[in-house]
Structure 1
Amino acid sequence: MLISCFPRVERGNRIILTGRSSKVGLQVKCRSDLLYLQLLTHEKSWDSFEKRVFGDQGSCPAELSEGGHQIVEKCQRLPLAVVLIAGVTVRGKKKEKDLCNII
């Protein structure tokens, strides 16, 4: 049923479906193998977030550390979530109250 929601797959087009459960991928009846990605450790999640948000500054300022770690925790070690939220964060003002609004 999910496949019927998308236009006909032409040569070169791809649909990427992500989820925590392999049952989702199996229900779609993909014509390729499922890829099983590992969750990040909390440390790797933080490193990725910090690098994307504060890369130009080198590291997260101490006053933003708690809010930043809360954001990373909400991402539940999912690589795509960390990257997406870091992208939203880097575009905003880097103040403690602003980080709390992202959570």
Structure 2
Amino acid sequence: MLVTASKYLVPKGYVAITIFPFIILRNKAHKSDEVLLNHERIHLRQQLEMLVIPFFLWYSIEFLYHLVGCRDFQRAYRKIRFENEAYSNEKSPDYLKSRPFWNFVKY
């Protein structure tokens, strides 16, 4: 896991983006936010399990599906199962130690 900061690579309205093996933060100050880093580590695990490219294809297709259904960018984003898993478990620092393989399918 490589953590770096760049306000140019993180889309407006977000504080971080994860593209295996990088966690890119909008601001260096976020390096001390353990909840945010855990959220992004969950995405790293998801990407690794799906061999990265299929993760982004699934993520994009699911986002577009929800966007067509609800016509709300933020709601569509929050309905993505990868995000559901990450948001549901970001406050559990030991989550990744016991997380079942492909656990995102439960969300």
TM-score, normalization: structure 1? 0.31
TM-score, normalization: structure 2? 0.30
Structure with larger Rg: 1
Structure showing the higher helix proportion among its residues: 2
Structure showing the higher strand proportion among its residues: 2
